[in-house]
Chains A and B, each alone.
Chain A
Amino acid sequence: MTELRIDYPLERGRTVTALGPIDLAVAAGSFVAVVGPSGCGKSTLLRAIAGLAVPSAGTVRIAGAPPAALVASHQLGIAFQDHALLPWLTVRENIALPFQLARRAVDAARVDELIALVGLAEFAGARPRQLSGGMRQRVAIARALALRPRILLLDEPFGALDAVTRRQLNIELQRIWWDQRITTVLVTHAIDEAVFLADRVIVMSARPGRIRHDVAIELPRPREREILSAPGFHALSDELARALDAA
């Protein structure tokens, strides 16, 4: 994205700048996490990448194409803090939904593969209300991966979960990402989550959100639970916490 800026209208023709200007390039196949103070525009940034927020200035390009082109070709995957599962569909049907919306035949093997990938084989026929919060988010992530998107957008997908479930899902997401290697942008409040998952962490300033720091995470992959107690992990977390405090 180049010189991206997003303004929101206020009363009497006035506007407020929520975001930008921002210049950011994300390498294909990498995992980028975005952290920043509340209200700094992290989610707005993600919405701009998804084509849900229209830039007031600047451009967003994904592999050279605007977000609308990727939406039209069903190459975007997204998971929100609210799982947004359809309560009348089963786990299997929710994961198959992107195929139907793209007017493609449901690839049953792919759906089975994703159900297995997120560890819900025993719950394939269950409806969302029969699942725990963590299970619902796993389904939401599996659904986002269904069409092998060019880019995966995660908007605080674990923000509403308890700390234990969140850590477990971070480990699972890392494994899933390592397996799929899809370019991923994660918005999160949690520094340790960002360090554990990402190749690169972007620290944003308070509103209007701008990139304040860009920190490379050079921890070895695949990352397992043990890395959470490694000195390098803590050093990076501390560095990011200081950057966030200064933001």
Chain B
Amino acid sequence: MKRFSAGPLIGGVLVTAIVWELIGRLHAFGSAWAPLSSVIAYAFAPANGALLLVAALRTGSEALTGLAIGSCAGFALAACAVLVPRLAPGLGTFASLINGIPIIAVASVCALTLPHDATPIVVATLAAAFIVFVASAAGLAATLAVQRDLFTVLGASRTATFRRLLVPCALPAILDGVRSAAPSAVVGAIIGEWFSAESGLGPMLVAAMQNYAIARLWAVALTGALLSIAAYALLGGLRAAIGSRFG
């Protein structure tokens, strides 16, 4: 397995931080671009840090719940398409249709029709489900013909073939899909919060924007980005651990 090298990662972070700081200090994009140093100073002020942490935990738990439900739903749809091939075209179209609805529209409809606490989770679910559906469908179709022939000759039932061949073969692709869906779930949860929640990163973003609290706005945005990156990295670790056996 390829060894992880921290050098490029640290280099990339440093370059981003320097460019961010310079743009902010030189007002290259106007006064609404806060220098990174002022964003960090805001975030590390004791009261602000606690607020950001509480908001991040709330958004994170909504995103995680949405990601879990969306992943299960995406996988279930893909499994139905494989187990009942006649349903495959219809399910693909259905998933594409749902994915085609702008997430802002989904969030506003959810805010009007669902309990307030449910909206961020539902939007995160929808944001994650399509990605996992596509990844699962591709993974479940990726078995080798010779493996399918073997299972046929050994008299495996359709369920046994699914459980003992298709799913293990698809596992790396499914985990890739879940990992890719994690940042979308965070974004979905934040957008869902904009429309309905009273706490979390979404409402903090709206409040900071309305009050022109630039450092706070950037601190919230940075926290959201870190949340997405953390989820992506954690799931990447899980993918690497499992992929070494199933890949």
Contacts and interface: CB of A to CB of B under 8 A. Distances in A.
B137 to A, nearest CB: 20
B146 interface: yes
B168 A101 contact: no
A71 interface: yes
A214 to B, nearest CB: 26
15 contacts: A52-B152, A72-B155, A77-B153, A78-B150, A78-B153, A78-B154, A80-B146, A80-B150, A88-B246, A98-B154, A100-B160, A101-B160, A101-B164, A103-B160, A127-B245
A76 B153 CA distance: 7
Contacts of B155: 71-74, 76, 101-102
A227 B243 CA distance: 47
Interface residues of B, number: 19
B20 interface: no
Nearest to B161: A101
A172 interface: no
Contact of B164 (A50, A74, A100): A100
A80 B147 CA distance: 10
B50 interface: no
Interface of B: 144, 146-147, 149-157, 160, 164-165, 168, 245-247
Contact of B147 (A72, A74, A84): A84
Contacts of A101: 151, 154-157, 160, 164
Interface string A94-109: 0001101111000000
A87 B157 CA distance: 21
Contacts of A82: 144, 146
A100 B161 CA distance: 11
Contacts of B152: 51-52, 71
B144 A86 contact: no
B188 to A, nearest CB: 32
A52 B155 CA distance: 11
Contacts of A80: 146, 149-150
A50 B155 CA distance: 11
Given A97-B164, A100-B160, A88 B245 contact: yes
Contacts of B147: 84, 86
Given A101-B160, A101-B164, A127-B245, A84 B144 contact: yes
Interface string A123-164: 000010000000000000000000000000100000000000
Nearest to A98: B154
A61 B162 CA distance: 29
Nearest to A80: B146
A54 B208 CA distance: 69
Contacts of B153: 50-52, 71, 76-78, 153
- Per CB-CB distance, the 4 closest pairs between chain A and chain B, nearest first, are A101-B156, A74-B155, A84-B146, A78-B153
Contacts of A74: 154-155
